[in-house]
Structures are given as C-alpha cells and as structure tokens.
Amino acid sequence: MARKGAAALFPAVLLVVWAAVGVSAEAPGEEDIIYSCAAVDRRIALTFDDGPHPTLTREIMGILEENGVTATFFLVGENAEWFPEIVREEAEAGFELGNHTRTHANLREADYPAICREIDEGERAVWENFEYRTRLLRPPGGCLSDDVIRAAKERDYTLVCWSVDTRDWAHTPTDVIVKNVLDNAEGGDILLFHDYISGDSPTPAALRILIPELKKRGFDFVTVSELIESSGKGR
C-alpha cells in the first residue's frame, strides 16, 4: 500500500543530527519492506521514532496506558544508552521495541560496513542493558538501498516504514495532524509519530484526541509485529 497523508518525511532534529533527505518514491526491493498490512480488519499500529526522550517518551507512554493501547517504539541506540531507565520502563510496560540505528544515520548514503555497524550497535545498545532482541528495523527517514535490505535480511530483521506520516517532527499543528490521520487511516496502517522532537511537541495533544476518536471508529491498536502476524506476512 502506498504511503498516504503528508509528503515524504524528513528526519527530526535529535541529539544526533544529520542532513535531511527525502524518501524515494521507488525504494528498492519494495516486496521486502512493510509499509502497511492490507485486509487486517480495523487494526492499526502506532509507531514512535527517535527516542527515548527524557520527558516526552514518558508522557506518551502515559497517554497510551491511560487509553489501554499499545505501540511500537523505534529506538536510537545512543539515546537508549543515555536514558536506559526509560527503555526499561517501555519494555516492562509491554511496548514493542524496534531498532532505529545507533546514531540515526542516513543508511542510504552509508557503505555496507557502516550500515552493518549502525544496525548491530543499535541492537546491542538495547540487548546489553535489557536482553531485549529487536527484530524490527526502521531506517531513519525511510532511507533505503539494496545494501540496507541485504544487511537487514542477514540479521533476520523485518524492515518497517509507514503508511500515514503525521509530520509531528515538523511541529505540525495538532489539528492538522488529527485531520490527516482521521482522513487517511485504514485498517492495516502503520502511523508514524516521534517521541523525540526538538522543542515543543504536538504529539501528546494529538494522541489525546486521536486515540479515543479512532477507538470510536472501531479501530484496534496493535504492535507492528502483531499487525504483520495477523496479515499473514509474519515469518
């Protein structure tokens, strides 16, 4: 399924910063990448990139727990090392954790050894502290290449992108985020949010509106792995 809503994503400003790069409309090996999972009733997956953040991640987790919904957090390895207690809280709360590289690197511009290091060190940052083996990989910015696909396959990772981009990293107004999601969300969608954003974040306010409204519309919230498994794409 093609990505919907706002145009191509540009990466958020993090503790680790790299030049913004757009998402290719024709990423290589599309069959190897999960953007959404068609025909899975009204199930959708909330995903959060770039954390953990010292305050925002906990605020988002609180909103999710208050509403009784789950989500998948794609962790930047360096941030996981800086805030290990928050990663532990995420894992203990039952949220799914994914790999978002160690330094939020643009993997499309990296050579193969560098891609491998970013994936391996991102995984190690979580494993060594929590013995949690990440199995989902989201390349920062959705930047893909044949080498990224190869490295992911060799490590038994599932590459995950998204189908609805909220552009919360760009401080998009809350009402615009809400409208974008409600106008575009369908069963099987993967929604892209961020739990690490420079400055004030519109994400908590948007979630407080969106989650109850999506529930009223009959959507169920699942992790990315649950979404993939229910669609028959699981391994």
In this structure, what token pair is assigned to residue 112? 């193969």
Residue 140: CB partners within 8 Å, gap ≥ 6?
A: 11, 18, 49, 100, 101, 104, 105, 106, 107
Q: Is 49 a catalytic residue?
A: yes
Q: Is 171 a catalytic residue?
A: no
Among 100, 168, 194, 195, the one annotated catalytic: 194
Give the C-alpha separation, 70 to 221, whole Å: 6
**DSSP assignments along 19-40, one per residue:** ---PPPTT-S-GGGEESB-SS-
Among 32, 49, 146, 175, the one annotated catalytic: 49
Just list the catalytic residues. 49, 194
